[in-house]
Each structure stands twice: as C-alpha cells, then as structure tokens.
Structure 1
Amino acid sequence: MILNSIAEKLKRQSKDDFKGRHFEAWLIVQAVTWYLRYLLSYRDLEEMFRVRGFEVDYSTINRWVLAYAPVIEKRLRPFRPPHWGSVRVDETYVKIRGKWRYLYCAVDKHGNPIDFLLTAKRDLDAAKCSFRKMLRDEPLLSPGKIGADGPNTFPSTIKTVADDGPLHLVTKHLQQGIESDHFRVKKNMPKISGFKSFRTACRTIAGFEAMLWLKKGFGLTGDWTVNDQNDLLAHLFGLQKVNKA
C-alpha cells in the first residue's frame, strides 16, 4: 500500500516529462533502461530500434540517457527500505577523461541500497560527504556497525560524522556483497578513456545505481521479475507499458 501511494504521487508529477520530444515516451524509457541495464552501446541500441522500424540516432539515445537516468534514480529513491543495524561502505575507481575518480557506495547488511556518491578525490572530505549523504534521508537511523575495507579515511570519518559513534568493522567477508555491487555497476561503464566529463559520469552512474536498486527489489519478498520492474518504471512515468515493441 505504501509503495502504491509513492508510485501514484510520482505518476502525477510526470505529466511534462516528455514534452517536446519527437518520440513516444515508452520508447525513450525503453532505450534508457536497456542502456542502463544491459551491456549495450548507444550504437547497439540504434541498430536494435532500426530492426523494430524506429530510426533513432545513437546520439539521441545518449541525450535521453543523460536526461532521464537521474530522473529514474530520483523517482526510485523513495522506494528504498529504511536501513538500520550495520551497513557496508566501500569505494571504487571510475575513469573520467582519462583520470581516476572515486565512487563511494553503501548498502545495509541485507544488501539493500543506501546511497552512493561520485567524488573527484579520495580523501577525508570526500568520505565525510558520502556519509552525510548516506544519513541525510534518515538521520534517526544512524548505523550501529559499519563495515569497511580499512582505508585510513574511514575510521576518522565514522567518528566525525556518525552521531552515535558506531563500531568500525574491518572485515573482508562483510565487503563481498558491496564489491559485487561495484562490479554490476561498473560493467556497463565506458571502457578505455572512460566518461567524457564529470557531469556525464554523475548522471549516467545515477542511472546504473538506480537500475541495481530496481533489480534488487527494494526488500520486497516473492518474485520480482523484469516485467515487474518495467511495470513500476512505466507507472512512475504515467505509461501503460515500457516495452510495446
């Protein structure tokens, strides 16, 4: 019931999402979610849509992803379950214009997503920002335990940012789940030189993270198929279906 009320509220906010676009909304959402979910390039998607009778240039699909990936992330964010108890935090490398940048992520002990943050540096300030963002939505649910891989920035950050002084656990096996999430997010990222700009990386990674949230099912029990995931996305954008082709 709570999820339905959230979805209905977001649906009412979606009336002007595709105003001025030259393609139908369902096709745009389909292209964006395919790119964010699977190992497909923009040119792969251009060819796939051409086979289905739609002439969509790969650069247009790129613009759609940059426009709608953060929208999808924003609308799926309220569906994340509350976190409590212990959390896992970790950071990984992302290449932007040939330089390494840093993606901080946090999940709860069940693997449910908490938050993420892309930063230009890997230092104390960046770690603090990631913790503040993690606790911003639910400040009363400060974690009792935090699992990390032991970099020097984390212990001091935990003491500074977390109000209740949670226990810092440097335990490798606790990190396996979040490291798997890193792999799932990074496998779709551009190879070689990486993203062309920090803005492009931020917007696209928001979509990658959102699709991982969606795939995990927000802590829901029972079957959670791709069709169920598409139905939720369609509902959030006021559509009957995402995949009509």
Structure 2
Amino acid sequence: MQTQKISYKRHRFPPQIIAHVVWLYVRFNLSLREVEEMMLGRGVDVSYETIRRWTVKFGPLIAHVLRRRQPGPGDVWHLDEVVVKIAGRSYWLWRAVDQNGVVLEEILQSRRDKRAAKRLLVKLMKRRGFVPKRIITDKLRSYGAAKREVAPGLDHWSHKGLLWLPSLMQDVFQTS
C-alpha cells in the first residue's frame, strides 16, 4: 500500500504552518478559536473557519502519516491482570505491554482462567501479526496453560518479581 502524498497546493499559508495548526488542534484538545488566538500571538492571522477546513482536509492524512512512522511493538510482552469493580461486580482487566511500555491490548473478563488468558494471547497475536520472542507473566498458571495451546514453542517466564524488572536485568537473569 502506497502512502498518499499530502499536497498543500493552492493554499496561502506554507505547509509548515498548516501542519502545525492541525497538529495543535488535534493533539491538545483545543477549540478552533483557541488555536486561532495562539497563532495570532505568533503573528499568523488565520481564522477559525480556515483551521476547521484544514483539519477536515489534512487531519486524516497527517494522522495516517504519523501512525505509519510509529515503530512496531517489541518482541517481549508483559502480561498481567488486575481486579476491577464495576457496578459492584468484580471483573478482571487483562493487559499486555511490550518492553518499551506501549500498551498492546486490554481485555475485560468476568473470569480469571485459562480461557480468558487464551483469548488475550490469541487476540494479541492476531492483531500484531507475529508471535513474540518471550512473554513474562506473574505466577498465574492460566498463562502457561493458554501458552501451551496457542504457541507451544514460545519462551515463557513466570516469576512473581520478574514482571517489572528492567529489560537489561531480565537478560542478566536469563544468562545465569
């Protein structure tokens, strides 16, 4: 798939100003008039209606370019679950985070069993399109059972204190 080149032809302002204005509006949850005032403070006289048109025209293209620039997820995934009370009922929030701290997936389940862990792993691997090098979990046995069904060759570390160690320390523990 080819990326679409953003064309700023037939616009009075330079591309850097247009891109900056759209970025300000989208990134910082500002109103159109607030962005207009900010730009006026910088010496650029642009109306809020022009900012709205630029956002409609260039916003999706700029977002697409920025998403493509993001690096892919890491190959070491940390999986964990936490109990959450919603309307008086207990649920389990299952999370997967890569070694860089990027949240890969979150699933809310009513149970804390092998089926829920398997659902998380399958959803992660489908969405990311690859099997990680290693998963690191707490001592919950559901992860091991789910891993055996989904990806038997996957390296799995299960240790109570290992989940939050920096990645350099994990490599030290693996070699010893």
Task: Give the TM-score of the pair, scaled to structure 1.
Answer: 0.38
| Highest RCO, 1 vs 2 (Cα 8 Å, sep ≥ 6) | 1
Higher share in helix: 1
Q: Kindly name which structure, 1 or 2, has the bigger radius of gyration based on alpha carbons.
A: 2
TM-score (normalizing by structure 2): 0.49
Greater per-residue strand proportion? 2
